[in-house]
Amino acid sequence: MNVAVSALKPRHKRASNGKPLHVVPTNHNSEVHQVQDLIMSSSSSSFSSKKLRVYGGKASFMTWRLHDVLPVAKHHWIPCVFAMGLLFFMGVEYTLRMVPSSSPPFDVGFITTRSLHLLLASKPKLNTLLAGLNTVFVGMQTTYIVWTWLVEGRPRATISALFMFTCRGILGYSTQLPLPQGFLGSGADFPVGNVSFFLFFSGHVAGSVIASLDMRRMQRWEMAWTFDALNVLQALRLLGTRGHYTIDLAVGVGAGFLFDSLAGKYEESKRSKAPTKTGTKEAFFL
């Protein structure tokens, strides 16, 4: 820019009488154009260099050195474990023989709980007792989730449960899995009686996860750990009675986390749009 300023300024000389003499060079316009071209070329080269760094630079892995790669397993061991899992299950998936359509689904949970299944099948009263206790636990989940909204004024768990059961209904109707062989129903179970129900995914497990996450937010640690322990026992019973496949229970856990997060985002969006000084409560929730 100093070049530009000096070029645009008129040059001054002193005459023989000591007064300044204003002299404009004959090539003034050409110098101005040269300066403008210089500025444009410099800005253009700067833009080109930035563009080169973004699009035409080296790939990230080409800058790696041995001392960059070695600590990865130590500081990022969880992604490394998942990377090994990816390679392992790619080998399993492409070498495993498919289950024939005429055969029942293969389920690791059913194999693990085979002894429990035989026990409950031989003792119907024990099966009914456990089903009744499980129904009580479902009632505890429902009571807590509704309590947080109606009494404590915190609707997140309720919104999460509404999201979850709606999505469960859509998925359960879209893919209606066959009832597992050896299903042990009970009149004390929920849904009450030997009625039809959606297998995918487990609303029992997802509801328990939603309640447990809310308890942790409120630092009700003992209640949360109790619900988690009861949820594990509930999952074992559902596998033992062949009331759910293993995938139903696993997705139920993930669904609890997912819909709790979505309910939180929904609350945040409503709070950001809500007026700050209205003096009235929002209808229904906030």
| Positions marked active-site | 204, 244, 248
What single letter denotes the amino acid at residue 278? Answer: T
Q: Nearest 5 degrees, angle CA 46-CA 47-CA 51? A: 120
Those residues whose C-beta lies under 8 Å from the C-beta of residue 39, and which sit 6 or more positions away, are 4
Those residues whose C-beta lies under 8 Å from the C-beta of residue 131, and which sit 6 or more positions away, are 186, 187, 188, 189, 237, 241
10, 24 in Cβ contact below 8 A? yes
What single letter denotes the amino acid at residue 46? Answer: S
227, 211 in Cβ contact below 8 A? yes
Per-residue burial over 66-85, b = 16 or more CB atoms within 10 Å of its CB, e = otherwise: eeeeeeeeeeeeeeeeeeee
Is residue 178 reached through a cis peptide bond, with omega within 30 degrees of 0 on the bond before it?
Answer: no
Q: What are phi and psi of 104, to 5 degrees?
A: -70, 155
Residue keyed to tokens 């229970």: 249
